[in-house]
Chain A
Amino acid sequence: MDSEDTSRRLFLIKSLTGVSSAWLALRLPEIVAAQEHAHRAMQSAAPVKFEFLSAEQAAEVEAVAAQIIPTDDSPGAREARVIYFIDRALTTFDKDKQSQYVKGLKELQSKQKKMFKNSAKFSDLNSEQQIKVLKAFEKNEFFETVRMHTIVGFFADPSYGGNYDKVGWKLIGFKDDFYFKPPFGYYDREYKEAQ
């Protein structure tokens, strides 16, 4: 964390919470450590190499994710780099889902080939066709796992590789600031004004 950012934050904590300088001096290292964690998380890792998925598998999974949270006038799963979150999950805390991905991708492909005879890959289909395939596929356990991973990756702390540039949080209006000041929303402002 650069020092200007640190001092600005600390100044604000101080003025908002009425903390004395002595208190801050004593706790500075702890607060900075906490803040640094949050800060690291903010700078989402640049795209890294895939560790579990092959490039081809990744393209297929990403195409599914991009239908679960599509891109419209705001970023979707693709821009959030959910695929990097998924790849990382599959090599760390969700290792046991690896075989489900391998098997599931094959099942998806056979479904897609059955519905669109000449297609080679799910990601080759146009959006309308992809939605048709997924509607027929949504009861599949693998789809449920990808849905779950996409959503978690879209909204998890950016340090996990998804939610790039906090696009997930921006979509819903969530902010992870360390401090807020009242009024917090419309109705408490109105309430205070009425008093």
Chain B
Amino acid sequence: MSAQQPKFETQTQVDFVVIGAGAAGGIIAKELSTAGFQVVVLEQGPYLKEKDFDHDEIKHFWQAALINDWKKQPNSFRKTPKAKATVQPAVMYGRMVGGGTAHFTANYWRFHEIDFVERSKLGTISGTGFDDWPITYAELEPYYTKAEWELGISGQPGPFDPPRSKPYPLPPLPIKSAGALLANGARKLGWHPQPAPMAILSQPYRGRSACSHCGFCEGYGCEIKAKSSTLATVIPEAEKTGRCEIRSGSYVRKIETDNAGRVTGVIYFDEKKTEIFQRAKAVVLCANGAETARLLLISKSNLFPNGLANSSGVVGKYLMFNGGGFATGVFEHELNEFKSVAVTRIIHDFYDSDPKRGFYGGGGLDARFDVYPIGYALGALPRETPRWGADYKKALKQYYTRSMFTFGHTTSLPVERNSISLDPEAKDSWGLPAMRVTYKDHPDDLKIMKFFSDRGMELLDAAGATKRWAGPVEESTFGVHLLGTCRMGNDPKRSVVNKYHRAHDLANLFICDGSSFVTSGRGQPTCTIQALAYRASDHIIRMAKNGEIKSA
């Protein structure tokens, strides 16, 4: 905890409680406290600092050091509402101050203009809730720019980029071999490679160090604050105001309301599992597209029997993961993809949906080899490799430095039955209902994954791979992008929050994180989540100053 942090009494009615210190929550805490409001941020995970981070693959990939722990907070999964869900890991997110931005890969793509108005352009898609957003790209543009400049993004616009009011604050990071091979291959095919926009500093910026290319990046926390997480950027700014308390180890179990249907505060477990009630004038829920929906459903009461903010019945529904279309290639010389950041070049030639393909979908393509030694030896060798013995060892030696994946990041359609709900049996270590995930990709989602796997194979060929193979295209059973479960919209019957992220049903409850998405975009949601968070903050501040937030 920093010296400047205030310590609010739980009986004090603070101006705002923010639930979740992640991509969105960190920004909202900073904006509200800077505007003069008292803010308590409740984050279930620990408050780790740079000195706590290390390069231990076992801890990070096997023991959930920075992510949700499925032993303590189990998930259950089923493909369709008729099936019985089995307990298995189904969602993954950063569980710490900083949320997913501490360990994420840091790809930082803006949405394009089309992402907000796709239904108007393409028409409805039967069996889905495919819809326009209640806001346009133009409305969000100033907030994209604000996010890029406040957090520190390195990049350079490409030919398909949407219009921008300001350049990137920092030049692109140095190209790596996978990026060079992608660029060479793409040019041969007539495609248009561009530097990847990354939430990582290519040069020192606002008192933080530039990337030292250590390579323990995706899945790890950055020890030198070069990754532009909310932990390294806005959260310290919020603390500096002297009006924001970050209360880590605080697991919110209910948003409390009074008989008039106003939020009064939240109940949470502290680290000793003691229940505490924190009063607040208003609550901003930023617990990500999975936990936000779960908490609203758990927070049901006599007045709100279907869960909070759920008169529409839409809370938890239209969950979207984004898809992936993969291929792997091996090259003659060393790429050494284990160094530096994961991604340096991308392709957006296939971003838009194209009726000629015969199905809905689009995406972006990158190249990387984002496996650490243990993960590589267990699962990323060419398929025909023996599983042990002299030839296994030979393959280990040959491929690590010479391999790359192509990774297509693709659309997921909003399908009502794909959802977060409460498991009727399984409980977490605090006795709360476990999260149940129901998910089956729309047929078009699988087709666009295959499309990108095919483009990856072409690219590897053009780049001169000596060996290449396509990744399997399979139905998703696990999500890291958790989107759409409290969608925004103008119609209270079909959406959970309005265009200012206020819950249709409660005047002093705001919801802003991945759950607000109406459509999935093409992977890399965090840039848009954070632009939304800046925009939501502006409107929440406006409403609070005008006395429009009617608190209990």
Q: Enumerate chain A interface residues (CB-CB to B < 8 A).
A: 13, 16-20, 23, 27, 29-31, 33-34, 37-38, 41, 67-70, 72, 74, 76, 93, 131, 134, 138, 147-148, 151-152, 154-157, 159-160, 168-169, 171-182, 184-188, 190-192
Contact = CB atoms under 8 A, between A and B. Distances in A.
A70 B177 contact: no
Contacts of B177: 184-188
A17 B392 CA distance: 39
Contacts of A19: 204, 209-210
A159 B400 CA distance: 22
B181 interface: yes
A41 B56 CA distance: 9
B374 interface: yes
B214 A180 contact: yes
A68 B212 contact: no
B333 A178 contact: no
Main secondary structure, interface of A, reads helix
Most buried by B among A18, A31, A33, A186: A186
Nearest to A24: B209
A174 B216 CA distance: 12
Interface of B: 49-51, 53-58, 62-63, 174-181, 183-184, 203-204, 207, 209-216, 223-224, 226, 331, 333-340, 373-374, 376-378, 387-390, 392-393, 396-397, 400-401
B379 to A, nearest CB: 10
Nearest to A168: B373
A69 B386 CA distance: 11
A108 B279 CA distance: 63
Contacts of B58: 93, 152, 156-157, 160
B396 A172 contact: yes
A17 B210 contact: yes
A13 to B, nearest CB: 6
Given A154-B377, A156-B58, A178 B212 contact: yes
A155 B374 contact: yes
Contact of A147 (B51, B55, B224, B388): B388
B494 to A, nearest CB: 47
B224 A13 contact: yes
A15 to B, nearest CB: 11
A35 to B, nearest CB: 9
B334 A13 contact: no
B69 to A, nearest CB: 13
Contact of B393 (A33, A76, A188): A76
B203 A18 contact: yes
A186 B335 contact: yes
A68 B183 CA distance: 38
B338 A20 contact: no
B203 to A, nearest CB: 6
Nearest to A181: B213
A68 B181 CA distance: 34
Given A38-B54, A67-B388, A188 B175 contact: yes
Given A151-B377, A152-B374, A187 B51 contact: no
Given A68-B392, A152-B58, 10 more contacts: A16-B212, A18-B204, A41-B54, A67-B388, A68-B389, A70-B393, A155-B374, A155-B376, A172-B397, A184-B336
B385 to A, nearest CB: 13
Contacts of A31: 223-224
A69 B223 contact: no
Contacts of B376: 155, 172
Contacts of B390: 70, 72
A17 B179 CA distance: 21
Contact of A172 (B49, B209, B400): B400
A183 B150 CA distance: 29
A138 B57 CA distance: 26
19 contacts: A19-B209, A30-B50, A34-B54, A38-B54, A68-B388, A69-B392, A151-B378, A152-B374, A155-B57, A156-B374, A172-B400, A174-B400, A176-B55, A180-B339, A184-B176, A185-B176, A185-B335, A188-B176, A191-B175
A175 B75 CA distance: 36
